[in-house]
Structure 1
Amino acid sequence: MKKITQTLVILMLTAFVTTTAGWFSDDNNQKQIKQQNFKVYTLKLAETWPSNFPIFGDAVKKAVKLAFDMSNGRLVIKIDSKNKHKAPLGIFDMVKSGQYDLGHSSSYYWKGKDINTLFFTSMPFGMTANEQHAWFEYGGGQELMDKVYAKHGLRSIIGGNTGNQMGGWFQEEINSIEDLQGLKMRIPGFAGEIIAKVGAKPTNIPAGELYTALDRGTINALEWVGPSLDLRMGFHKIAPYYYTGWHEPGSEMQFLINLKKFNALPKDLQAILITSMKLAAYDMLARSNHESAKNWASMKKDYPNIKIKTFPKSVFDKLRAANKKLLTKLAANNSLSKEIIQSQKNYLKKARAWTAISDQAYLNSQTQ
């Protein structure tokens, strides 16, 4: 009897190991789902980026895989890149209309749809990535973003941060504010409003068209991200001056969600979807820092002709003055803008005091 019992236990353990091994095998996921009679929910996602675009596109793929794995295959998300839908800056409308259930892009692209969307990517002279994430999660930022997007039938969730972005690639050196007069530059968001105020001519161009636009003189300068993505784009070949940042100290991408579709999902899948997006977002910040550090070292070694510059104080003074004036005007004309601006201002004051005595003090100590 004892031998029979031992044999049965061994057979049961073997069956369990075989079953679970098959379940966690990608090749067998769909087969196991069918055998369990799960209802599968399939969502369509449109992204601003081209197929296999590094870091940004990788964050989307990670969120999709996390959602699939955590739901045991009940939540399937299919990605359409800009190569397929042909509308890289049309994500807002496509998700709002229900053509797509989800999107991945940047909130400040939609300022023409709703001026209050531009505050949730990054603001010039504003919060760093760490400060901004704290504001989103604990300082009321997510609630304000919900307030802005809900009236469009949408929800926006953090979609991955680039960290502090570089100020851009310039074909000519910037020595004074006069050098920005008439300068044609690809720069989106509120920063575009600021440089327009000081005499430049901002424009917004999708990623895949940037090099050609700079090479052909359609623009004279551009900002993209930083070493994590810029080096592979080849901008240094035609614009040797690389300026440090001021305009996007912590640029957050976004996952857009059609609220009607989201509310139709079971509660557990709603939680899994949001969790997958946030995990992918935080991973993108780590990846961005890693790639920028790696590419910065490579750039300094392999491309010594790149000239690293910082705008003169006189230029920063003009940019800050323009920023202050524009924010004051926005707050006066729109009550929700005023609420968001005040929230960010208050949180930055609190968070920056701690950043100064923690990270900044530590970094300063390393140069002594």
Structure 2
Amino acid sequence: MISLKMTSFVAAAAVTLGTLSMPSMAAERVYKLKMAESWTTNFPIFGDAPRNMVRMAEEMSKGRLKITIDSANKHKAPLGVFDMVRAGQYDIGHSASYYWKGKVPNTMYFTTMPFGMTAPEQYGWFYYGDGMKLMEKVYKPFGLLSFPGGNTGVQMGGWFRKEINSLDDLKGLKMRIPGFAGEVLAKLGAKPTNIPPGELYTALERNTIDALEWVGPSLDLRMGFHKIAPYYYTGWHEPATELQFLVNERTWKKLPDDLREILRVSMKLAAYDMYIQSYHESGVNWAKMKSEYPDIQVKTFPTPVLSAMKKANEELLAEAAAKDPLTKEIIDSQQAYMKVARVWTNISDRAYLESLDKIAE
């Protein structure tokens, strides 16, 4: 559901955007677009973001922009959204950029990176740093535009059947973990794989995998992973997981200026609202988990394991940067932005929380 604050924002935006259109707006052409999402029908939070976007776009355009959504259980290709939007089979997609690393390695840097930026830092990089410009460089050769599509915040490190006490416990471990983090674990001897959301529980139940990471308490409890894998580890690999709206560039260019702006505003607001929703649901479900599922064992990876992960991550980043100038530009931009933003994060958020801890003691 769209909140009252969102409704007010939409109404205000509609008035502002109305100056972009002609007086005869209501009589103008209706643009009907199709969207493919990587999630199944009515999937919570992830599926809410594109639906909020669609409702806002239609309202602000006074019905001139109508978008229908096909879920993964209809189009049958949850990890095929990139290709379907590129081919024009769909005008828009909602998915995650790091799913395309096998096709275009540089796409994975725009979801999140191990030991990288937090969500506020990353949003700063996207909108006020070089993030959007670099993302356009990566996607433009494929006739696509990519926009932030909703953030989960810091994700949990995953569900494990067995406790991780040392690096030896990672060797041969079959784990569902996408993106750059999968490469980090592979370097340490694990066997990472990517599996669509709708197949995760079955894969864990049937021992196809030994462990998996999904999101966090906002979504994990309802998936039932705790019934099979009781060890729940805190995160390191996805501190700011940003989903994406993929737009076919031909479709984008066919839209009038005012509808392009309406679509842009709708995507941006829907993305931010998903971040708020994820934060809320994580807090609520964490409390539920602690009270209703006391057998779940919350763990943090041992320091030697985390140190090895960070070292492997740094080595892989250096290797990737050395192979491709655009990769290097993206990595350098992220690291430079984080270096500046993290100082403020430490002075503001970290210092505030540490001050509260001292009072509590």
Specify the alignment match of 1:344 in structure 2: 334
- The answer as to 2:102 corresponding to 1:79 is no
Letter in 1 for 2:136: D
Structure 1 consecutive aligned stretches of length 4 or more whose deviation exceeds 4 Å: none
- Residue 114 of structure 1 corresponds to 104
Task: Provide TM-score, normalisation by structure 2.
Answer: 0.92
How far residue 35 of structure 1 moved from its aligned partner, in angstroms, is 11
Q: Which amino acid aligns with 2:188?
A: V
Q: Give the distance between the partners of 2:44 and 2:211, measured in 1 at CA.
A: 23
1:172-321 equivalences in 2 (<5 Å) = 172-321=162-311
What's the counterpart of residue 125 of structure 1?
Answer: 115
Alpha-carbon distance between aligned partners in 2 of 1:365 and 1:211, rounded to the nearest angstrom: 41
- The alignment's C-alpha RMSD in Å is 1.2
Distance between the aligned counterparts of 1:268 and 1:367, measured in 2? 49
Alignment match, 1:44 = 34
Aligned residues: 336
1: CA distance, partners of 2:25 / 2:112: 47
Give the one of 117, 126, 131 matched to 1:136.
126
Partners in 2 of 1:355 and 1:51 — Cα distance?
37
Structure 1 gap segments, 5+ residues each: 1-33
Mapped partners of 2:223, 2:102: distance in 1: 28
Q: Normalization by structure 1: what TM-score?
A: 0.90
Decide whether the 8 Å contact of 2:26 with 2:64 is kept in 1. no
The answer to whether residue 50 in structure 2 is matched with residue 60 in structure 1 is: yes
Shift in Å, 1:39: 1.2
User: What is the aligned partner in structure 1 of residue 316 from structure 2?
Assistant: 326
> Structure 2 matches for 1:129-168, cutoff 5 A?
129-168=119-158
Give 1:37 deviation, angstroms: 2.6
Q: Amino acid of the residue matched to residue 67 of structure 1?
A: A
Q: Which amino acid aligns with 1:59?
A: A
Return the letter of the residue paired with 2:132.
Q
**Closer, same or farther in 2 for the Cα pair 1:140/1:198, shift >3 Å?**
same
Report which of the two structures shows the higher radius of gyration computed on alpha carbons. 1
Alpha-carbon offset, residue 38 of structure 1: 2.9
Which one of the candidate residues 78, 81, 95 is aligned to 1:88? 78
Q: CA deviation at 1:366?
A: 1.1
Cα distance between partner residues in 1 of 2:75 and 2:316? 35
- The residue number in structure 2 matching 1:13 is none
Q: Structure 1 residue 354 and structure 2 residue 344: aligned?
A: yes
Counterpart-to-counterpart distance in 2, 1:37 and 1:275: 23
Alpha-carbon deviations, 1:283-305, whole Å to 9, x = none? 00000000000000000000000
Question: How many angstroms apart in 1 are the aligned matches of 2:296 and 2:183?
Answer: 28
Q: Which runs of 5+ in 2 are unaligned?
A: 1-23
